[in-house]
Structure 1
Amino acid sequence: MPKRIAICPGSFDPITKGHLDIIRRAAGLFDEVVVLIMVNYTKAATAFTAEERVDMARRVTRGIPNVRVDFYAGLLADYAREAGACTLVKGLRAVTDFEYEFQMALTNKKLYPKLETLFLTTDIQHMYLSSSVVRQVASFGGDISEFVCPEVLQDIVARLAPGPPGPVRREPQT
Structure 2
Amino acid sequence: MRIGLYPGTFDPITLGHIDVIRRATRLVDKLVIGVAINRDKGPLFSLEERVAMVEAQTSRLSAEAGVEIVTHPFENLLIDCANDVGAQIIVRGLRAVTDFEYEYQMVGMNRQLDDSVETVFLMAEAQHQAIASKLVKEIARLGGDVSKFVTPPVQKALVAKLG
What range is the shorter-chain TM-score in?
A: over 0.9
CA RMSD of superposed structures (Å): 1.2
Distance 1:48 1:159 in 2: 8
1:105 Cα deviation after fit: 1.2
Q: How many residues align?
A: 158
Distance 1:132 1:16 in 2: 10
Distance 1:160 1:88 in 2: 32
Partner residue, 2:101: 99
State the TM-score, normalizing by the size of structure 2: 0.92
Mapping 1:36-75, distance limit 5 Å:
36-40=34-38, 42-43=40-41, 45-65=42-62, 66-75=68-77
- The one-letter amino acid of 1:81's match is N
Return closer, same or farther for 1:41/1:107 CA change in 2, 3 Å cut-off.
farther
Of 144, 154, 158, which residue of structure 1 is paired with 2:160? 158
Mapping 1:113-152, distance limit 5 Å:
113-152=115-154
- The one-letter amino acid of 1:58's match is E
State the TM-score, normalizing by the size of structure 1: 0.87
1:67 Cα deviation after fit: 1.1
Of 12, 25, 34, which residue of structure 1 is paired with 2:23? 25
1:108-166 per-residue CA deviation (whole Å, 9 max, x = no partner) reads: 121121111000111000111100111000000111111101232211111124xxxxx
Distance 2:151 2:59 in 1: 12
Partner of 1:64, secondary structure, is: helix
Partner residue, 2:2: 4
User: 8 Å contact 1:59–1:152 — kept in the other structure?
Assistant: no
Distance 1:91 1:70 in 2: 18
Deviates more, 1:133-142 or 1:65-74: 65-74
Pair 1:78 & 2:80 matched: yes
Partner residue, 1:13: 11
User: 8 Å contact 2:32–2:85 — kept in the other structure?
Assistant: no
- The one-letter amino acid of 1:120's match is L
User: Which 5+ residue runs of structure 1 have no aligned equivalent?
Assistant: 162-174
- The one-letter amino acid of 2:35's match is I
